Chain A
C-alpha cells in the first residue's frame, strides 16, 4: 500500500494560491533570524489528479456504513443521512467564527439551544452541556462534576471510589482515574446484571458513585436499575449513566426517571452523525438538579427571542471545550431529531431492538449465547467451541470474505471470545438474513475446513496483518529517504 509520499515529483502541486506582494526575503525578515525555519518540512508534492486518485484508491480499501452492514457492537453504526452533510456545510454554520459577539451568532446559539431542549427532554433531566467532544470526554466531564459536587459538600476527602460493573467499557475506568478517583469493579451475576449483594457490600461513605451503562454492554437492561440507583443515593453517592446504548430505549424511557445524575449522549451513535473513521463525535451531558450549578461555563440561555451566554456560575467546573462544543456535529443531530419527531424516535428503538433480537434468536442456534434473554439493541455471542483452535478473531476475519464488517470482538471482557453484534434499526431484514447465513456458513466451515477461517480474510485488500510486528519493529511514520 503506497502512501502519498511515494507519488509525485518535486515542483508539483495540488492547488494554487495568490501571489505574494513582495520578495520572500522581505517577508521572512519579520522573523528574527535564529527563529526562521532552516529546512522545509517534508511534505508530498503531487498534482491534483494524482492526489484525488490516491485518496479515492485509499477510500476503496475502506469499509463504511455506506458500503454495507457494519454490526460493530457498542458503536451504533447506523445510516448517516445525507441531508445532514449539506446542512453542516451551510456557510452560516461552517463559516462562522466562534468568537464573534453573541448578537452576531444568534442562529448558531439557536441551534445549540434547540438541541439542548430536546436532549433534556429525551434524558428527562433538567441541566445540560453540549461541550464534550465525545463520549469519553463526557465521562471525564461527569466525573469532574462528581468531584466538584463532593468538594462543595466537604466530602471529597473521604469519597474517593467509583464503582464500575465488570462489563464496563474501557473509557469508564480511564475517565474516573483522570478525575482522580479510584475504581472498584463490581461483578456481574449469572443474569449478566449488576450483582446486588456485591453492590451493597461495596457501598459506603468512601464511595462517590457508580458508572453504569444502560442497557449494559451485554445488551441487557438492568432490571434492578431503580434499586441500584436508590441504593447508591441512599449511601450518599451519585449515579453516572454511560449513554452509548441509548438507541435501545430512545423515546420510551428516560435516564432521569431511572435515577441518573449524569448522562452522556453520543451524538455519533444514537443521533446518526457519521463516525468519520474514528471521529469527530459529540458527547453532550445531561445532569440532575443537584448537579446543575457545577455544569461547565458558559451556559446558553434564552431571553425573549434572543440567546445569550451565561458566565455567572460561580460553582462551575469551568470549560471542557475551547468554544461551545462540536457544533457541526450538533447541527446534524438537531436535524435528525427534527426529522424523526416523537414517533420516529420510538421507531428507532423499536427497529434496533427488533433487529437485535431477531439476529440473536437465529444465531443462538449456531453460536453460544452466554446470556440467553431478551436483549436490547445488541447482544453478545461467544465464538468459543466452534472448532479446533478456532478463535473469535478468525470468525471476524472470515466475515470480511462474505462482505460484512465484523462485529466488535473481545469486548465485553466478561464473555470469553466475545462477538458483540449491534445491527441498528437501519438494516433491512434481507441484510440481517444474509448476515445470519454467512455466520452459519462460517460455523460449518469452522468444523469442515478451519483453515479457511484461520487464514481469512481471502477477499480483502490485504491478507491478515501482523499486529505484533508493528510493536516489535515500530514504523510510525514514513522514513525519510
Chain B
C-alpha cells in the first residue's frame, strides 16, 4: 500500500459494502470495457522514499551547470534570497491551500495577496495590480490582448530588444488572437528607435531595462502613440532605482517577478507581474484581493471583481487564467517585506555597481568592447572577434554567460550577454576578467 493512501483491506470491505459493490473493479464498470482492456501499464515497479530520493538526487547532480557561477541572465537572475522567504512559503497552511474561494478560512492568503498588490502598485507606479500571472511572458501576452480588446486595432509594436524568449510566447498568443507584431529597431546606443506609428495600432511594448540591459527613456512615448496602450515589461528590481513606468503614462506594466525571492528553478515556476490603471480594473485578467468587512464590521479580505473571471463570465471572461503563481507571489511579498525600501535599493545599487565595474574591466581588455553605449542596469552585451571562444574559456573557468546564439535571437551578432547581481563577489569578477585575458 502507498503511504499516502490510508485504506486498509478492512476499510475497503466496509466501504464497498456500504456502496453495495463486491469489488474495487466494479467501481469502474461505467468505463467501456474495451477502453479498460486496452490499458497498458508503464512497466514501473513500486518505489520507496529512499530510492526515489536517490534517483532524483542523481538527476540533480548530473546537471554540470549547477556548479557554474551564473553571470547569466536573459530574464532569470541569481539574486540572494533571505532565509525567511523559504520559511514562509513552506508554512503548510500557505502552500497546501488552494485559491481562496472561501474567504473565512483563507484570510492568510487573501491578506498577503492584498499586501502583494500594494507592493506591486508601489514598484510600478500603477493603481491596480492583480495577484499574479504564470510568468512575465504570458503577462505581457495578456496585456496585449487586453489592449486589443480595449482600443481595437490589431497591430503591436514590439522592440527587437525585447527578450527573445518572451517575444516567442507573445508571438504564439498574438497569432492565436489574429494580431500582427511589428518590429521596432534599436539604436547604436541599444535604445528603442521608434520611427513611424502605424495605423491600427493597439499597443507599443517596451522592455525596461531591455534585453541588452540598456535603460530605456520612456518619456514622450505615450504621447506619440495616442490611445494605443503603452505596455512596459519590467525587471522589478530595477524599479528600485528607475522612475516607475506609471510616471510616463504606461497603461499596463508587466514583468518577470522571479527576481523577487524566487529560485531560478530551471525557468519555472515563475511570477507574472501585472498592473494597470484604475480605469481598466474591469478589463484586467487575474485574481484580485479586496478589503471589506465581516458581519461584525471587522476588516477582512475577499476575492474582488470575480465577475471578470472565467468561472463566472466564461467565454466573455477577461482571461482563461485560473490556477496562477500564488506561492511565487507570496515569496515576492516576503522578499520585499524583508528587504524594505532600503534593502531593495541596495540590491539594485549593488547589482548595478558590480555590473559597471565588470563592464569597465572587460572593455579595457584589448579586443573586447561593449556592444552598446547606452546606460545600463545590471546586464550588458560584450562584443569581440570570437565570442564563442570567449564563452568557452569562461566556461572552463567555471563561469556561465548568455551564449552568442541566444543573443543573436535579438538581432545582435558576435556578442555575449553578462548579468551581474549583488551575489557576485570581487573574486568572481576577477576570475571572469582573468579568464578572458588568458585567451589572448
- In B12-42, the 8 Å CB interface with A consists of 12, 14-16, 18-21, 24, 27-32, 34-36, 38-42
CB distance from A8 to the nearest CB of B (A): 8
Q: Does B221 contact A (CB under 8 A)?
A: no
Interface residues of B in 326-364 (CB under 8 A from A): 326-328, 330, 334, 336-347, 349-350, 352-353, 356-357
The interface size bin for chain B is 35 or more
B98–A278 CB distance below 8 A: yes
Establish whether residues A96 and B137, one from each chain, have CB atoms under 8 Å apart when the complex forms. no
- Annotate A220-264 by CB proximity to B: 1 below 8 A, 0 otherwise: 110101100000000000000000000001011110011000000
Q: Are B102 and A400 in contact (CB under 8 A)?
A: yes
CB-nearest residue of chain A to B264: A97
Q: Does A290 contact B (CB under 8 A)?
A: no
Closest to B24 in A: A350
Asked if B413 is at the interface (CB within 8 A of a chain A CB), the reply is no
CB proximity of B289 to chain A, nearest CB, Å? 7
Residue of B nearest to A81 (CB): B4
Give the contacting residue for B169; candidates A75, A321, A405; CB below 8 A: A321
Residues A409-446 near B (CB distance < 8 A): 411, 425-429
* Chain B residues whose CB sits within 8 angstroms of the CB of A469 once the complex forms: 292-293
From known contacts A108-B266, A174-B314, A249-B31, infer whether A322 and B75 are also in contact, taking CB-CB under 8 Å: yes
Most B CB within 10 A of own CB, among A90, A91, A321, A457:
A321
Q: What is the CB-to-nearest-CB distance from B378 to chain A, in angstroms, rounded to a whole number?
A: 10
Instruction: Decide if B375 touches A32 in the complex (CB within 8 Å).
Output: yes
Q: Establish whether residues A14 and B114, one from each chain, have CB atoms under 8 Å apart when the complex forms.
A: no
Contacting residues, chain B, for A180 (C-beta < 8 A): 176-178
B340 pairs with A13, CB closer than 8 A? yes
| Residues in A neighbouring B55, C-beta threshold 8 A | 338
A126 touches B (CB below 8 Å)? no
CB-contacts of A302-324 with B (<8 A): 317-324
| Minimum Cβ distance to chain B for residue A336 (Å) | 9
Most chain A beta-carbon neighbours within 10 Å: one of B75, B270, B340: B340
Residue of B63, B90, B247 touching A104 (CB-CB under 8 A): B63
Inside 8 A of A43's CB, which chain B residues have their CB?
119, 122, 336-337, 339-341, 344
Q: Are B341 and A478 in contact (CB under 8 A)?
A: no
Question: Which of B123-131, B223-231, B430-438 forms part of the interface with chain A?
Answer: B123-131
Is A150's beta carbon under 8 Å from chain B? Answer: no
Q: Are B138 and A32 in contact (CB under 8 A)?
A: no
User: Is A158 part of the binding interface, using a Cβ–Cβ cutoff of 8 Å?
Assistant: no
**Per-residue A-contact encoding for B159-179, CB less than 8 Å = 1, 0 else:** 000010110110111011110
> How many whole Å from B425's CB to the nearest CB in chain A?
9
Shortest Cβ gap from B409 to chain A (Å): 11
- A97-B334 in contact given A400-B102, A464-B295 (Cβ < 8 Å): no
Bound-state Cα–Cα, A249 to B347, Å: 49
Question: What band does the interface of chain A fall in when counting residues whose beta carbon is under 8 Å from B?
Answer: 35 or more
Q: Across the interface, which residues of B come within 8 angstroms of A100, CB to CB?
A: 63, 65, 68, 72, 400
Cβ of B290 and Cβ of A20 under 8 Å apart? no
User: Which residues of B283-337 have CB atoms within 8 Å of chain A's CB atoms?
Assistant: 287-296, 298-305, 307, 309-317, 319-328, 330, 334, 336-337
Are B264 and A135 in contact, CB atoms less than 8 angstroms apart? no
Please give me the residue from chain A that is nearest to B15 by CB atom.
A358
CB of B62 within 8 Å of the partner chain: yes
Contacts of B406 on A, CB cut-off 8 Å?
Answer: 99
Given contacts A258-B35, A324-B266, contact A178 B145 (CB under 8 A): yes
- Taking a contact as CB atoms under 8 Å apart, the answer to whether A275 and B97 are in contact is yes
Q: Closest approach, in angstroms, between the C-beta of B285 and any C-beta of chain A? A: 10
* Contact A3–B123 (Cβ < 8 Å): no
B345 proximity list for chain A (CB < 8 A):
40
Contacts of B173 in A (CB 8 A): 178
Residue B147, interface by CB 8 Å: no
Question: Contacts A3-B114, A96-B65, A344-B46; is A133 near B138 (CB within 8 Å)?
Answer: yes
Q: Are A351 and B7 in contact (CB under 8 A)?
A: yes
Q: Which residue of A lies closest to B417 (CB)?
A: A99
Given contacts A135-B322, A319-B172, contact A354 B90 (CB under 8 A): no
**What per-residue 1/0 map shows which CB atoms of A29-59 lie under 8 Å from chain B?**
0111011111011111110100110011011
Assess whether B291 is in contact with A475, with CB atoms less than 8 Å apart.
Answer: yes
Known contacts: A280-B324, A354-B16, A470-B291. The answer to whether A95 contacts B263 by CB under 8 A is yes
Residues on A with beta carbons closer than 8 Å to the beta carbon of B311: 169-171, 411
Complex interface bits, B46-58 against A, C-beta within 8 A gives 1, otherwise 0: 1111011101111
Q: How far is the CB of A243 from chain B (nearest CB, A)?
A: 13
- Alpha-carbon gap, A455 to B241, bound state (A): 49
B132 at interface, CB cutoff 8 A: yes
CB closest chain-A residue, reference B70: A97
Complex Cα distance, B6 from A178, in Å, reads 42
The residue from B53, B98, B168, B263 contacting A77, defined by CB atoms under 8 A apart: B98
Known: A3-B115, A100-B63. 11 other contacts (CB 8 A): A32-B375, A35-B375, A48-B338, A52-B84, A92-B63, A133-B325, A275-B98, A335-B52, A361-B18, A466-B293, A469-B292
Question: What are 17 A-B pairs at a CB distance below 8 A?
Answer: A17-B339, A17-B347, A62-B94, A81-B4, A92-B60, A97-B264, A100-B68, A253-B28, A322-B166, A327-B269, A339-B49, A341-B42, A343-B46, A471-B305, A474-B304, A475-B292, A476-B117
6 smallest beta-carbon distances between A and B, as pairs: A323-B267, A98-B267, A92-B60, A107-B62, A276-B327, A104-B65
